[in-house]
Amino acid sequence: MPRGEQARILVIDDDLAERQKVALAMDAAGLLSDTSSFNAEELGQKRAVFEPNLLFVRAEVGAPTLTELMRELERQGHPLPIVLLCQDMRDAPYVRHMRKGLVEMLQLPFSPRLHIARLRLLPTELPARGGHIKGQGAHRELSLLIGHLVKAQRTGELTLNKGVPDEGLLAFSKGVLKKTRLGPLTGEQALARVKGLQQANWDFEEGADSTADAFELGGSAAPIERGPPTAAEASMAASARGADALNVAFSIPPPPPQLPGMPQAGAVDLFGASVEPPLPSAPPPSFALAASAPSTDEAQSPILFVDDDATLVQMFSAFFTKKGYPTTTAEDGVDGYQKLLAGRFEMVIVDLNMPRLDGWGFLRVVREDFRTLETPVAVFSNHDNYREQLRALHAGAQAYYGKSLKMAALEAQVKELLEPRRRFTRVILTGQSVVMPLGALGMQWVLRKLSDLRITGQLDAQDAWASYRLQLNSGQLAQVTAKAGPQTLSGERALMMLLAARGVEGSLLRQADVSAPPAMMTQALLAKVVAVMNDEQQKLKEEQLKQAKGLDINNELYQLYTQVGPPAWKPAVQLLCEAQLLPRDVMSRLSMSAAELSAVLKDLVRRGVVALKS
């Protein structure tokens, strides 16, 4: 696609309703689009009439529908760049460097706000890509890379240990291994030596399809064509399964849960042999990591378990510790809350029935404290009661587990709850720019994670209330701004507005550097801002509402709030901001409880619409 050319996007999906929904969103955003199924005849007609220069396809890497689509594009002449909307993002580190074929992977489900901005950038970004990827590792890493080259039908040269006497070279044409060499060896002998490499630096250079059969690799052995695996190939494939026998420098993440109707990720076809995807769960080989990859997802997911049953606590701790999770236990809600404040946990599982502070009370204090409100909490109960489940979810729990649940099933559900944050971390570690529903992850958590990983880049976010921009330099905040209607805030007040926002979506654009030096240490700034937010919230307790002498109104933000604020709160908001009634008078006029009016005022204060006079 020539630099700066406007994208003409053909949306391909066998689900008519889904592809029409995507196309309508693109039309609304001003992008030129049309749709097609995977049917070869329909696809050919749409290409001839619409003349797309980019394909947006819902499929998984290696899925039969995608494989056949790419072959059909070859038959029709001049393949087009493909953007995948998919669930399994493990191939993203390879894809983001390529100029041809698969050039981008976006995470399901489709979000117009998150994904269309990425599609706008591709026409200018693709010509600037180098078309090559570099990395290092032994047989396992090579197996994963080669598996991608086969599944994605890549054409090019894979160089091993360039510049040394035993330099190797593997040539691919449309995913087929054509020729191979390692030092003086070629063919099967070279493959056998590749299998035995303890460490290798590798570099894949994307090539032109027309040159694939003209590679000059030297040696006398015949080129290796795709077909039944040889003994050397089968041995290489078998060793890829035996991860325990390898000296692996890094691990590969498991696929995220599959969505209904999506093809399941199967074995990787390596040189014609079946290689099962590896099980460990840290990020794939990274080509521009800002920080070293964690060894496993579990090791980076500390859990707090709160229950007064000593036997259950011991059983839970032993099971999850064995699985690799750092596990802390607490004997009741008071002890659990104190430990939650003192540490950083990815998840809390709390019993509902405990002395001193039960699970309901624990949920209440956790959700009212800005220091802890983002922590995922699952409640645990002896009673599989549907009403109790609903009550738990409405009280701010992310999940409800019955104590009759077996430990293996419980671990599976814990993994599911932890998966969104794990996926964010995996994508960040690949060096990719990210588009995600950041508010669902927790903005404090996102900023702490970016700080831990020393990420440099620009974070843009928005909700119905405002738009936000944050510049980060090596994980530290260099600048924070928030624009709500005609007003622009910066610094701590802008950060407070972002942390109090709901339904935030946004994108992180990775950058080599930013001009502004770090002005604020992220961790310290978050602690300071959250303390101020807690203090402001304390002023809105019921006794302060009755004693308040009035409100300071920001009229510009009030006008914006009348457009985007909750309709159910409108009568109270009008009495407070237009009639200038005191909170106690509003409660009397509308027969509202102090708790109900407190919720309204909390939202107004968080957004800067009002300030309470005491």
Average pLDDT for 118-126:
82
The span from the CA of 49 to the CA of 34, in Å, is: 10
329 phi and psi angles, rounded to 5 deg: -120, 155
- Reference 198, options 249, 135, 247; nearest CA is 247
pLDDT of 214 > 60? The answer is: no
- How many CB atoms neighbour CB 445 within 10 A? 17
Report the C-alpha gap between 378 and 396 in whole angstroms: 9
pLDDT number for residue 211: 38
**Cβ within 8 Å of residue 394, ≥6 positions away:** none
Average pLDDT of the segment spanning 357-380: 88
Q: Which one, of 472, 613, 485, 482, lies nearest residue 561 by Cα? A: 485
Side chain identity at residue 430, one-letter code: T
Give me the mean pLDDT over the 359-363 stretch.
86
| pLDDT of residue 163 exceeding 70 | yes
Asked which of 136-140, 390-394, 499-503 is least confident by mean pLDDT, the reply is 390-394
Residue 391 clears pLDDT 50, i.e. is over it: yes
% pLDDT > 90, the chain = 20
Identify the structural domains of the chain with CATH numbers, from first to last.
8-128 (3.40.50.2300), 132-275 (no CATH), 298-421 (3.40.50.2300), 433-534 (no CATH), 539-613 (no CATH)
Reply yes or no on whether the pLDDT at 364 is more than 90: no
Amino acid symbol at 142: L
Give the integer Cα–Cα distance in Å for 170 and 186. Answer: 10
Average pLDDT over the chain, rounded to whole? 77
The rounded distance, in Å, linking the Cα atoms of 188 and 181 is 9
Q: Which helix (H) or strand (E) holds 179?
A: strand 176-182
pLDDT for 34-67, tens place per residue?
999 999 889 988 888 888 999 999 999 988 899 8
Enumerate helices (H) and strands (E) in the chain, giving the number of each.
22, 26
DSSP characters over 5-69: PPPEEEEE-S-HHHHHHHHHHHHHTT-EEEEE-S-HHHHHHHHHHH--SEEEEE--TT-HHHHHH
Distance from chain centroid for Cα 573: 37
Q: Would you place residue 512 in the very low, low, confident or very high pLDDT band (cuts 50, 70, 90)?
A: low
Write out pLDDT tens, residues 168-188. Answer: 899 999 888 888 898 888 888
Say whether 510 sits in a helix, a strand or coil: strand
What pLDDT sits at residue 439? 80
Of the pLDDT bands very low, low, confident and very high (cuts 50, 70, 90), residue 103 is very high
* Residues in the chain, total: 614
As a whole number of angstroms, the distance between CA 299 and CA 15 comes to: 39
Predicted TM-score (pTM) of this structure: 0.51
Strand 156-160 and strand 200-206: the pairing is antiparallel
pLDDT for the residue 567: 81
User: For the residues 335-358, what does the mean pLDDT come to?
Assistant: 90
Residue 225, classed as helix, strand or coil, is coil
The span from the CA of 193 to the CA of 334, in Å, is: 61
CB distance 146 to 58 below 8 Å? no
- b/e map 448-473, b = 16+ CB within 10 Å: bbbbbbebbbbbbbbbebbebbbbbb
Residue 529: the pLDDT is 92
User: Residue 78 pLDDT > 90, yes or no?
Assistant: no
At residue 605, the pLDDT reads 81
